[in-house]
Amino acid sequence: MASALNELSATQAARWIADGRIRSEDLVRACLDRTAQREPEVAAWAALDPERALAAARQADATPAAGPLHGVPIGIKDVIDTADLPTGMGSPIYAGHQPRADASCVAMLKAAGAIVLGKTVTCEFAGSAPGATQNPWDRERTPGGSSSGSAAAVADRMVPLALGTQTGGSVLRPASFCGIVGFKPTYGTINRMGLKFAAESLDTIGMMARDPEDIALCLHVLTWSPPPQSLDDPERLRIGICRTPLWDKAEAETRAALDHAAQLAAAAGAELTEIDLPGHFSELGEARAIINDVERARSLAWEWARHRDAISPQMVRQVEHGHSVSGERYHAALRFAERARWALDPLLEGVDVLLAPCVNGEAPPGLHYAGDPSFQGLWTLLHVPTVSLPAIRGPHGMPVGVQLVGRRYSDLQVLAAARWLIRRAGLHGGTAMPESTGRHAIPA
Amino acid sequence: MASALNELSATQAARWIADGRIRSEDLVRACLDRTAQREPEVAAWAALDPERALAAARQADATPAAGPLHGVPIGIKDVIDTADLPTGMGSPIYAGHQPRADASCVAMLKAAGAIVLGKTVTCEFAGSAPGATQNPWDRERTPGGSSSGSAAAVADRMVPLALGTQTGGSVLRPASFCGIVGFKPTYGTINRMGLKFAAESLDTIGMMARDPEDIALCLHVLTWSPPPQSLDDPERLRIGICRTPLWDKAEAETRAALDHAAQLAAAAGAELTEIDLPGHFSELGEARAIINDVERARSLAWEWARHRDAISPQMVRQVEHGHSVSGERYHAALRFAERARWALDPLLEGVDVLLAPCVNGEAPPGLHYAGDPSFQGLWTLLHVPTVSLPAIRGPHGMPVGVQLVGRRYSDLQVLAAARWLIRRAGLHGGTAMPESTGRHAIPA
């Protein structure tokens, strides 16, 4: 259980602020203190404005709770526009860039009462060239990417909730590497106005938190889904174990994480079946690479024309690959992906969710490589909602997650299943830090 | 045939600039002169920078043709970001707003050698509250919207080619009202980075020109489709006449336009069949309204929170309707539309294109109402490529178009059919102004 204010979940904090048990200002101060203490090592933030956040918190404390996130601090990935904080996109091309408007997701969160604590470090343009963020569990290891700062800040108890984006595996992989809950909703359900596109037909705004209920709360605000109180605990969860065509190359801890989650679920009464994906789904990886690189090349058309020297070698390679693909081949990849989405639907008819491998092993050592996106990218291309939950520790003591996957638009079912796995089956979600992380005790 | 430089098509102009027969500077000056002469009445432009355009033209003249639009002036709808011209979105909220970067489509057109003459007037946020633009054929009538300025500028020979955007009927309707060719490509095939979203799952960047070949040229630049030289003339065009469920409410001139085009096509050897849409397609109009209004409400979340008083009453109504729709109902509309897209594919199997009504009548009198989007919006929701061609004059002498519709990703086939209808069947595309419009004669 949380023993300091900065360890509270967003749901708990919002409830207690609305009740008057805690003040938003104290919560924000606790998060800022934790950040001040840890940021020199973790480097999760691209921009912070403590005074602005504290002023917003005092204003929240002076008014009755008007929205479900009233007074709750959040982090925003730095490829998402903010009108009062610079948006640097992890690129020198946008150093100090100040957008005119908040992205729609930011405006909607603010309208629900949330307080933007700051912008979190992103890989360059939500791609694969990492920023300075370290994994809070082991500073010699990557936090994953591209939503590196959001994952690290949430894992390190600097903030209870943060937005990320996923084009390949940029939410779920860092969430798994940092031992928190990552969620990528159904493609198209969160408005992307004000997001710098990586690859437009894949980019999905997602969330990171330490509790699936916080994700459901954020989803309620951003997609007008029913409030998390209405999340139904499934009576008898039907889980399809889906090892995917990638299983053969999965590390031992990836397999162990899935087996562990499956065993806990079975012991808690879930009904398990094995589900195989059609053989041609193995081609989805190549289709995703084509779509990703063509769309990256186009999304960066202005930067390519005007600031090519300031683009990383990794991104240059992707853009150049994109330029080598014909329009016809790109359209064929889009159509292939669409047909696969339709082929997936009947496979999911007999189950509530799929349980699938999430990442290939623990967070690798070094900060230069944010990890392999293939285990997450498959589902991103399929546009389905997917959540990662910490499941086990790997051979180096690092968290390793599993992912739950649902039918398109069944986002709440996926989150309900995640909560069931944690609460009923005992899967260790919301990995606790070894000792209390904050100095601001929760008032009795 | 063109008798003045500003009447040239983009294709012709690009060829002659590359050949050295004409200079880009003379062409740009001809377009600027025409604009100076007519703009006080037509009011097509939201921002113009003649000196910058002329400087770019001189630079083009000083270098060998490096791209397929080398030295060709274009117009850009003012909801699309430009790094060197303000982007006002037809809203006082963005008056004088200067984006940091060019939208990807603008950067790609510039990389192909195009010169941005200026930004064209848009209805507020590509919605239904019109700007000051008048119809060049009758200044008492609307040019249509929301791509009002692009349609009027192209029709009035101020520029050969302009970008618009279509969320309901915002490219094809003004194109029809102004007697030019409008094209909405397959959804998702032109990158939207730097576009202010109206409704994200409908918004499609499109083009306006006086010749379908110019559209094919622009499409080649923006989607990497094969160059227009490879447009195949269909041997025996198979046309499905699709009156749509809206036929019953169609004005007489709308019906006459379709019948006229069908007769010409039949006389020229096309094979005509009648194609009925499934009955449930009549519900697409309501689905589109739900999707449109929910997504508008979200796209304008920041403006709604911070500048509500500066939003037009029309847009306020749409946003408020959007807010009244639950997330579940919105998702149901998205799924309904997706199923309809799949249901359409087999209907189109036996034909090359559909011939459908385009607009409900001539451009209506008055500048306060940009016309009914339902005849175009049906196809926008279905994500199919569609082109409008001027077909007849209505009872008040105003142009009335028809539209050709194809399967998704068959954009080039649709354009080939459009060219066939003009060249082989004699449908009057590229409606000529009654007299020569420019003072810059084409050199012999």
CA distance B390 to chain A (A): 29
Catalytic option among B9, B91, B128, B170: B170
How many angstroms separate the CA atoms of A129 and A92, rounded? Answer: 12
What is the structure's pLDDT at A312? 98
| Contact (CB<8Å) A94/B106 | no
**Average pLDDT of B208-221?**
97
Residue B322: inside a domain, yes or no?
no
Exposed / middle / buried, residue A84 (Cβ in 10 Å: 0-12, 13-18, 19+): middle
B30 vs B227: which has the higher pLDDT: B30
The two tokens of residue A155 are 């894992």
Question: CB-CB: which of B83, B193, B225 is closest to A299?
Answer: B193
Give, to the nearest 10 degrees, the angle between helix A24-42 and helix A148-155.
120
Q: What are the distances in angstroms from CA A311 to CA A290, A410, B238? A: 20, 38, 48
Same domain, A331 and A350: no
pTM over 0.95, yes/no: yes
pLDDT band at B430 (very low <50, low <70, confident <90, very high): very low
How many angstroms separate the CA atoms of A97 and A438, rounded? Answer: 33
How many angstroms separate the CA atoms of B100 and A87, rounded? Answer: 12
The chain A residue lying nearest B193, using CA atoms, is: A299
Give, to the nearest 10 degrees, the angle between helix A411-423 and helix A212-223.
160
φ, ψ (nearest 5 deg) of residue A256: -65, -40
What is the structure's pLDDT at A233? 81
**Average pLDDT of A202-217?**
97
CB B85 within 8 A of CB B41: no
Same domain, A313 and A224: no
| Contact (CB<8Å) B305/A335 | no
User: Which DSSP string do the residues of B312-346 spell out, in sequence order?
Assistant: -HHHHHHHHHHHTS-HHHHHHHHHHHHHHHHHHHH
Residue A130: inside a domain, yes or no?
yes
What is the structure's pLDDT at A440? 80
φ, ψ (nearest 5 deg) of residue B116: -80, 110
Exposed / middle / buried, residue B140 (Cβ in 10 Å: 0-12, 13-18, 19+): exposed
What is the structure's pLDDT at B66? 87
Question: How remote is the C-alpha of A301 from its chain's centroid?
Answer: 27
Q: Nearest to residue B403, comparing CAs of B224, B236, B248, B206?
A: B206
Query: What percent of chain B is predicted at pLDDT more than 70?
Result: 97
Supply the CATH number for residue B122's domain.
3.90.1300.10
CA distance B263 to chain A (A): 34
Residue B300: inside a domain, yes or no?
no
Is residue B170 flagged as an active site residue?
yes
The chain B residue lying nearest A199, using CA atoms, is: B191
What is the structure's pLDDT at A437? 64
What is the structure's pLDDT at B235? 82
Same domain, A287 and A272: no
Q: Nearest to residue A106, comparing CAs of A132, A81, A142, A140?
A: A81
Same domain, A312 and A417: no
CA distance B435 to chain A (A): 40
| Contact (CB<8Å) A301/B104 | yes
CA distance A329 to chain B (A): 10
Same domain, A194 and A300: no
Query: Sheet holding B45-48: strands in order across?
Result: B45-48, B115-120, B73-77, B161-166, B204-209, B181-184, B386-393, B399-405, B353-357, B238-241, B271-274
Residue A212: inside a domain, yes or no?
yes
Is residue B146 flagged as an active site residue?
yes
How many angstroms separate the CA atoms of B364 and A317, rounded? Answer: 52
Q: With H, G, I as helix, E, B as strand and everything else as coil, classify residue B265.
A: helix
User: Which DSSP string do the residues of B101-123 spell out, in sequence order?
Assistant: S--HHHHHHHHTT-EEEEEEP-S
CB B72 within 8 A of CB B19: no
Number of domains observed in the structure of chain B: 1
Question: CB-CB: which of A83, A100, A197 is closest to B97?
Answer: A100
The whole-chain average pLDDT of chain B stands at 95
What is the structure's pLDDT at A229? 84
Residue B308: inside a domain, yes or no?
no
What is the structure's pLDDT at A433? 52
pLDDT band at B439 (very low <50, low <70, confident <90, very high): confident
Which residues in chain A have their CB less than 8 angstroms from residue B97's CB? 100
Q: Of A367-371, B128-132, B232-236, which range is least confident?
A: B232-236
Using the predicted structure, report yes or no on whether residue A429 has a pLDDT greater than 90: no
Residue B326: inside a domain, yes or no?
no
Residue B220: inside a domain, yes or no?
yes
Same domain, A212 and A310: no
**Average pLDDT of B86-91?**
98
Q: Tell me the per-residue pLDDT of A176-199, one tens digit each, with 9 for 90 and over.
A: 999 999 999 999 999 999 999 999
- CB–CB contacts below 8 A, A to B: 122
pLDDT band at B431 (very low <50, low <70, confident <90, very high): low
The whole-chain average pLDDT of chain A stands at 95
Using the predicted structure, report yes or no on whether residue B231 has a pLDDT greater than 90: no
Query: What percent of chain A is predicted at pLDDT more than 90?
Result: 93
- What residues are paired with B387 via a beta bridge? B183, B404
Question: How remote is the C-alpha of A395 from its chain's centroid?
Answer: 24
How many angstroms separate the CA atoms of B230 and B237, rounded? Answer: 17
Q: Tell me the per-residue pLDDT of A304-352, one tens digit each, with 9 for 90 and over.
A: 999 999 999 999 999 999 999 999 999 999 999 999 999 999 999 999 9
ipTM of the shown complex: 0.96
Catalytic option among A146, A147, A312, A374: A146
CB A403 within 8 A of CB A246: no
pLDDT band at A431 (very low <50, low <70, confident <90, very high): low
Same domain, A221 and A263: yes
How many angstroms separate the CA atoms of B403 and B418, rounded? Answer: 9
Residue B69: inside a domain, yes or no?
yes
What is the structure's pLDDT at A1? 60
Same domain, A318 and A256: no
pLDDT band at B437 (very low <50, low <70, confident <90, very high): low
Q: Which domain holds residue B364?
A: 5-226+235-276+346-423
Mutation choice for B interface testing from A102, A165, A224, A299 by most B CBs within 10 A:
A224
Same domain, A401 and A291: no
Same domain, A256 and A352: yes
Question: CB-CB: which of B111, B194, B302 is closest to A107?
Answer: B302
Question: CB-CB: which of B110, B223, B299 is closest to A305?
Answer: B110
The chain A residue lying nearest B94, using CA atoms, is: A100
Using the predicted structure, report yes or no on whether residue A434 has a pLDDT greater than 70: no
| Contact (CB<8Å) B111/A328 | no
Same domain, A213 and A92: yes
| Contact (CB<8Å) A299/B191 | yes
Is residue A184 flagged as an active site residue?
no
